[in-house]
Structure 1
Amino acid sequence: MTYRSKVAWIFLLGFALDLVNMFVATVAYPDIAHELHASVTQLAWISNAYLIGLTVIIPLSVWLAAVMGERTLIAASLLLFAGASVTVGQASSIETLIGWRALQGLGGGLLIPVGQAMAYRHFPAAERSQLTARVMSVALLVPALSPALGGLIVDNVSWRWIFYANLPLALMTLLLTVLWIKPDRPSSRREPLDVGSIFQQLRSPMLRSPMLRTAMLIYLCIPGVFIGTSLIAILYLRGLGYDATQTGALMLPWALASALAILLSKKLFNRCGPKPLLLAGMLLQCLGILLLNGPALIIPAYLLMGLGGSLCSSTAQTLAFLDIPAERMGHASALWNINRQVSFCLGAAILSALLSALDSFAITFTMAAALTLLPLFAVLRLDTSRIRALLHPASEPHR
C-alpha cells in the first residue's frame, strides 16, 4: 500500500467516526428519554453538544497542528474521542451525557480538517477526484447504515453500547495512525493564537458572493432542517409502534435516493446550472416532510427527502466555491464547514423547540416543510448568465 493510500485511510476512518456519531445516536433517543427522564429539547442537545464541539475546534486545527505536529494531534484527538465515548456511555443523567458529548465532539472535530489536509496534500491535483469519490462513498454509506446498526444495538443490548461501540474503530484508527503516519515535527515558525480571528471570517468579503451566501442558506434550510426533522420523525415513529431497528432502517431508502441525487447533480450541474436543481430539490424535500404525516407513506417520505435534500446539498457544495479565487479557497472551506455544523445544530434545536411548544407532530412537520422553502427567493435571484460564464468560459464571446 502506498503512503498516500495509508494517509487517505486514516482520514476516511476519522471521517467515518464523526459521521457515525452524528447519525447513530438518534435511534436511541426514546430509550435515553425514558431512562434519564429527558425532554425533547434535551434530546436535541445530545446531537447539538457534539456538533458544537466539532464546530468550535475547527478554526483551531491549523494552529494546533503547527504546535503539536499532525500525527501527534490526530493521535491525541482519537484518545480524547475514545475516552469521551466511554464516559458518554456511563452517563447517569441527561446533563452529564450532554457535557461528555461536547467533549467527544472536541476530539472528533480535529479528525476531519487535519486528516483532510494531509490526504489532499499527498494526492496530485489530477488524481484528487479519486479521493473525493471515496469521501462521498463514506458520506453516503455511514449515514445510511449507522442508524440501522444502532437500532439493532438498542433493541438487543442497550443504548449505552451505541457509544461503547466507538472504541474498536477509534482504537484501530489510533493504532494505524501510529504505525502508518510518518512522524512530523511541530512547526518552528507559527503565529500566536488570536481568538478573535476565529470569528473574523464571519465578516469576510467572501460573503459578498451571492453564490456562497445562497449555498450557505441552502445548507441551513435543507440539510439542517432534515436533521431536525429526522429527530422528530424518530419520536413520532416510535409512538406509532416502530422499534429502533425499524426506524434506523428507514435511512436505507433515504441513502438510495441520495445516491441518485448526487449522480444527477454531477451530470446536470454544468448542463442546466444550479437553479433548476435547487428548486426541484427544495420542492421534493418539502413534499417528503409533509408525507410524514401519513403513516402509510413513511418510505416514500424518506425517498423524497433523500432525493430532494441531497440534490440541494450536492448542488450547493459545487455552487459555494464557483466564484471563489484559488488563494481564498482555504478560508472559504473553513467558513463553509462552520456553517454546515451550525445548520445541523439549528435544525435540531428549532424543530425540537417547536414540538415542545406546540405538542403536535403534524404542525411541526408542516412548519419544517415551510422552512425548507425559505431559500426560494435567493435561488431565483441567482445570476444565470454569471454562472454560465464561470462554467463555460470558452463559450463566452471575446470583447
Structure 2
Amino acid sequence: MPFRSKVSLIFLMGFALDLLNLFVLNSAYPALQRQLGASVTQLGWVGNAYMLGLTLIIPLGNGLAQRIGERATLLLSLALFGLGCALAGSARSIEALIGWRLLQGLGGGLLIPVGQALAYRACPASERAGLTSRVMMVALLVPALSPALGGLMADQGDWRWVFFALLAPTLACAALVLAWLPGGRPQPSARPALDLRLLRQPLLHTAMLIYLCVPGVFMGINLVAALYLQGTLGLSATATGGLMLPWAAGALAAIALSRWRFNALGPRPLLLAGMGIQSLAVLALASPWLVAHPGWLVLLYALLGLGSSLCSSTAQTAAFVAIPEAAMGAASALWSLNRQLSFFFGVALLGAVLDWRLPEPTAYAQALALGAALTLLPLPWVLRLPGAGALFVQPVE
C-alpha cells in the first residue's frame, strides 16, 4: 500500500472515531438519563463537554506536533481518547461523565488537525479532491449509522458499552500509527501553532467562510425547520427525522459531483451552485405555499443535502490545494477550529432569532429567510476565486 494511502486511512479512522463519539450516544441518552438521574441541561453538557475539549485543544495540536513529532502526537491523542472512553464508560455520576467527556475531547481534538495535515501533505494537489470525497463519505455515513448502533447497545445491554466499544477501533488506529508512520525526530519549524498569515490565501479564507455560512448555517436551518415542521405542519418526530434520508441522497450526489468536476472546473462554479441551491431550497421551506404542499419536503431536503454538501466538499478540497507542505499543519489547525465554530454559529444565531421572534406567526419564516441570506454571504469572495487553470499554482510563502 502506498504511504499516502496508509496516512489517509489513519486520518479517516481518527475522523470516524471523532464522529462516532459525537453521534453514537444520541439514541442512548434516555437510558443514560434514567440511570444517572441527569437533567436535560446536564445531558446537553455530555455532548458540549466533548465539543469544548475539541475546540480548546485544536490550537495546540500543530505546536505539539512540531515539538514531539506527528507520530507521537497522534499516539498521545489516541491514548487520551481511549482513557477518556474507559473512564466515561465507568462513570458513576453525571458530573463524572461530563468531566471524562471533556478529557475525550482533549484527546480527540488532536486526531483531526494532525491526521488531516499528514494526509493532505502526502497527497499531490491534483489528487486532493479524491481524498476529500472519502472524508465526506465518512462524514455522511458515520452520523447516519452510529445513532442506531448506540440505541441497539442501550436496548440490548447498557449505555456504558457505547464508550467501551470505542476502545477496539482506538487501539487498532494506534497500532496502524505505530506500524506505518515513521518515528523520526520532529522537524524544527518557526511557524506558530495558529499562523494567521495563511488567511491571506484566497482559497483558504474563502473556503473557511463558505463552511461557516453554508454547512454551518444549515445546522441552524435544520433546527428551525424541525421545530416548524412538527409545531406548524404537524409532522411527527419520526417523519421529520426521516427527511434526512433524502438529504443524505442529495449529499452523496454532491460528493460525487465535487470529486468528478473539481479539477476541471475549479471551486467557483461548484460553490456558486451549492450556495444557490441551498438558499432557494430554504426560501421554499419558509414559503406559505409549503403548508398546502407538504409532499415537496422530500425534494426540498434532497436539494438541501445537495447544496450544503456541494459547498462543504468543494471547500474542504479548495482549502488545502494551495497550501505548501511546510504550512499544512497550521492550515489544518485553522480549518479544524473554523469547522468547530461553524457548528455552533448557525444553531446559536438562528436559534436566538427564532426565540426572539416567537410567538409571532411569521417567526419561523423570518429565521429561515435569514438562513437563506447568510448562505449567500460569501458570494463576493467566491466570485473572485481563480479559475481551474490557476488552481494548482497558488502557494503561500
Normalised by the length of structure 1, the TM-score is 0.74
**Cα distance in 1 between the residues matched to 2:357 and 2:27:** 23
Per-residue displacement from partner, 1:332-352 (whole Å, max 9, x unpaired)? 443232111111133455567
- Measure how far apart 1:252 and its partner are: 4.1
The answer as to whether partners of 1:52 and 1:345 remain within 8 angstroms in 2 is: no
**Cα distance in 1 between the residues matched to 2:286 and 2:162:** 27
Instruction: Show the counterpart of 2:82.
Output: 82
Structure 1 SS opposite 2:184: coil
Evaluate the alpha carbon distance shift between residue 365 and residue 10 of structure 1 in structure 2; reply closer, same or farther with a 3 A threshold.
Answer: farther
The answer as to whether partners of 1:24 and 1:146 remain within 8 angstroms in 2 is: yes
**Cα distance in 1 between the residues matched to 2:124 and 2:53:** 32
- Measure how far apart 1:107 and its partner are: 0.9
Structure 2 SS opposite 1:334: helix
Structure 1 SS opposite 2:137: helix
- Measure how far apart 1:171 and its partner are: 1.7
Per-residue displacement from partner, 1:358-381 (whole Å, max 9, x unpaired)? 998x98865652442242553443
* Amino acid aligned to 1:277: G
**Cα distance in 1 between the residues matched to 2:378 and 2:144:** 29
Structure 1 SS opposite 2:97: helix
Instruction: Show the counterpart of 2:175.
Output: 175
**Cα distance in 2 between the residues matched to 1:325 and 1:20:** 31
* Amino acid aligned to 2:278: G
Instruction: Show the counterpart of 1:397.
Output: none
* Amino acid aligned to 2:52: I
**Cα distance in 1 between the residues matched to 2:276 and 2:39:** 38
The answer as to whether partners of 1:54 and 1:108 remain within 8 angstroms in 2 is: yes
The answer as to whether partners of 2:213 and 2:375 remain within 8 angstroms in 1 is: no
Per-residue displacement from partner, 1:212-262 (whole Å, max 9, x unpaired)? 55543432243224445667888998x98757xx98776444322201123
Unaligned runs of 5+ in 1: 395-399
Instruction: Show the counterpart of 2:277.
Output: 280
- Measure how far apart 1:391 and its partner are: 3.1
* Amino acid aligned to 2:48: N
Indicate yes or no: 2:223 matched with 1:222. Answer: no
The answer as to whether partners of 1:277 and 1:315 remain within 8 angstroms in 2 is: no
**Cα distance in 1 between the residues matched to 2:317 and 2:187:** 36
Instruction: Show the counterpart of 1:55.
Output: 55
- Measure how far apart 1:83 and its partner are: 1.4
Evaluate the alpha carbon distance shift between residue 250 and residue 176 of structure 1 in structure 2; reply closer, same or farther with a 3 A threshold.
Answer: farther
Evaluate the alpha carbon distance shift between residue 283 and residue 149 of structure 1 in structure 2; reply closer, same or farther with a 3 A threshold.
Answer: farther
**Cα distance in 2 between the residues matched to 1:265 and 1:32:** 40
Equivalent residue runs for 1:304-315 within 5 Å: 304-315=303-314
The answer as to whether partners of 1:323 and 1:390 remain within 8 angstroms in 2 is: no
The answer as to whether partners of 1:148 and 1:249 remain within 8 angstroms in 2 is: no
Evaluate the alpha carbon distance shift between residue 123 and residue 265 of structure 1 in structure 2; reply closer, same or farther with a 3 A threshold.
Answer: closer
Indicate yes or no: 2:9 matched with 1:9. Answer: yes
* Amino acid aligned to 2:343: F
Structure 1 SS opposite 2:39: coil
Instruction: Show the counterpart of 1:138.
Output: 138
Bigger Cα displacement from structure 2, 107-116 vs 340-349: 340-349
* Amino acid aligned to 2:184: R
